[in-house]
Amino acid sequence: MKLNNSKHIPSAPSRRKFLNRVGAAGALMAISTHQLSGKSFERKSEFLISKDKTDDLIFMSTTKLAEMIRTKKISSEELVMAYIDRIEDVNYHLNAVVMQCFDRALMEAKEADKALKKKNIKGPLHGVPMTLKDSWEAEGVISTGGTLGRIDYVGKKDATVLARMRANGAILLGKTNTPEFTLAGGGMRGVRTTGNIIYGLSKNPYNLKHGTSGSSGGAGSIIAAGGAAFDIGTDWGGSVRLPSSTNGIAGIKPTSVRCPRTGHIVDYGGVFDSWQQPGPMARRVEDLMLLTPLMSGPDDIDAAVVPMPWPDPSLINVKDLKVAFYASNLIAETAEDTQNTVRQAAKWMEEAGAQVTEDMPLELFTELGEIRRELVSGDGWAFLKRAGDLHGSNTLSESIQSRLDNAKPVSADRYSELLSLQDKNRRKMLQWFQQYDVILCPTTATPAEEIDQGLGKEWTSRKPGASYCGPYNTTGWPSTVVRCGTSADNLPIGIQCVAHPWREDVSLSVAQYLEERSGGWQMPPI
């Protein structure tokens, strides 16, 4: 493996060249979709065409379901009822959907069907049911964020990303499980799954003794099991990508500050502002191509969001790409099945004609991980204490309280130095990446872990996710996860397709090609 020893780093493409490549249509979409009118997809020619060949209704892609509703092959009411039935069948086992609004969803489905008869299409998601991670606020629906201070809090206003989905025709079925403030794991030591002290633990539909990862674990579980067409997660350190991988679905962490965080329990601002990014989760990559631009662009509240053009993935030819891959980062103890899955994906890229090199910047990864670990606890976890106070939570989950009790803040001088070191590392990472178009790597070191790990097995840098996802939150680069393999005990293995800032087109195109080769999502046994 070549480890960060390249002598030639070509210059980054100019903004003019970038805008030419993404095309005027992409720029128009980025400008129009930050509004909540849902009118940017009125013409049928602008709807995405599904490639999904799935026959079973509840397992079809979002894109295909939307097509079927528009062409009146099914009604929205029929589809909503099918998903409600599925949730009632499987959620007893999974504990993935923790709050439902079924009556309202059925009412909205009937309204969508009436509107369609009048040729009034609200948007590309007209009549399609979705769920939503419980860390997002939803008007009229209990939205806890997994914290006791909000145990009976009813949302006053839809979070921006939810408002945009609903403005484009989506129908909310309910909320999915998440750890407290999306940062507390299972809420107790020794547990490896999404959970909190209000709703309990979520389980993996491929093996109920195994976890969902997190923090968008309820979303990953119910999508994989066919209980929702899509969900919207958030990713601070892998929280979209990890559950996408371990539940065998597709998910994307877009470029940092592409999508607004308004209405999320850990929203915007502060030291870790650039780490957090919303992202859609679905069974098929084509749905990520449909959903991400609808979520994107400023809302005039989250001041960090940039009105960047949305690049068209259909313009990318994978044979023209330069690919770096690493099956292990030599930091985490990575399962052989996981490593083999990445190598197989790299081989598929070679077969497509891409230029593939095994390479990674090991020293930069190591440095970045050390900075990130010290920085996140550098204020003595005071940001978690403030979150509890803000939402009136007198009792916090065991894992959060343990962090507060054992807090060891660093000096102000050291904290300032860490921020500077982080920025220097980001610069070096970007310089290294100039020689490639995309990176293929594990999402997590192992497939879904057993939930019951036992006391004394603390989460460390050598555990899944800690060293594979975090670097791309720090750099802010877009990363799509797609299922590319299966472990020896029949658990999904997803890999990351990481691209340059604002180049979701490259990330998604590669993920879709790998999905075609691997088959992507597979039906769970539940």
pLDDT tens-digit readout, 386-411: 999 999 999 999 999 999 999 999 99
Angle between helices 285-295 and 504-518 (to 10 degrees): 160
CA dist 216 → 82, 91, 240, 404, 475 (Å): 23, 16, 6, 23, 21
Q: How confident is the model at residue 455 (pLDDT cuts 50, 70, 90)?
A: confident
Query: Which of helix, strand or coil describes residue 356?
Result: strand
What does the DSSP 8-state code read for residue 33?
T
**What local confidence, expressed as pLDDT, does residue 7 receive?**
33
Ranking 8-17, 279-288, 404-413, 419-428 by mean pLDDT, the lowest is: 8-17
The secondary structure of residue 49, as a DSSP letter, is P
Q: How far apart are the first and last CA of the chain?
A: 40
Amino acid found at 276: Q
Count of CB atoms situated within 10 Å of the CB of 344: 18
Per-residue confidence (pLDDT) for residue 463, from 0 to 100: 60
Residue 11 pLDDT level (bands cut at 50, 70, 90): very low
DSSP annotation of 439 reads: E
Query: Residue 412, class by beta-carbon neighbours within 10 Å (0-12 exposed, 13-18 middle, 19+ buried)?
Result: exposed
**339: Cβ contacts below 8 Å, ≥ 6 apart:** 327, 328, 442
Q: Percentage of residues in the chain with pLDDT exceeding 90?
A: 87
Residue 453 CA to residue 192 CA, distance in Å, equals: 7
- CA distances, 194 to each of 91, 151, 218 (Å): 14, 17, 7
27 against 481, higher pLDDT: 481
Distance between CA 116 and CA 198 in Å, rounded?
Answer: 39
Q: Looking at residue 412, what is its pLDDT?
A: 97
**By the 8 A CB rule, do 176 and 132 touch?**
yes
Rounded Cα gap, residues 12 and 20, in angstroms: 15
What does the pLDDT read at residue 322?
A: 98
Q: What is the 3-state secondary structure (H, E, C) of 224-291?
A: HCCCCCEEEEEECCCCCHHHHHHCCCEEEECCCCCCCCCCECCCCCCCCHHHCEEEEEECCHHHHHHH
What are 199-217's pLDDT values in tens digits?
A: 999 999 999 999 999 999 9
pLDDT (0 to 100) of residue 454: 85
- Please give the share of the chain, as a percent, with pLDDT higher than 70: 89
Is pLDDT of 1 > 70? no
> pLDDT at position 2, please?
54
pLDDT tier at 34 (50, 70, 90 boundaries)? very low
CA dist., res. 124 & res. 67, Å (int): 8
Please tell me the predicted confidence (pLDDT) of residue 186: 82
CA distance 459 to 456: 9
pTM over 0.85? The answer is: yes
Task: Please determine, for residue 13, whether its predicted confidence score (pLDDT) is greater than 90.
Answer: no
Q: What domains lie within the chain, and their CATH numbers?
A: 36-518 (3.90.1300.10)
Question: Higher pLDDT residue, 438 or 459?
Answer: 438
Q: How far apart are the C-alpha atoms of 126 and 168, rounded to whole Å?
A: 6
* Bigger pLDDT: 173 vs 46: 173
Residue 101 to residue 459: CA distance in whole angstroms:
35
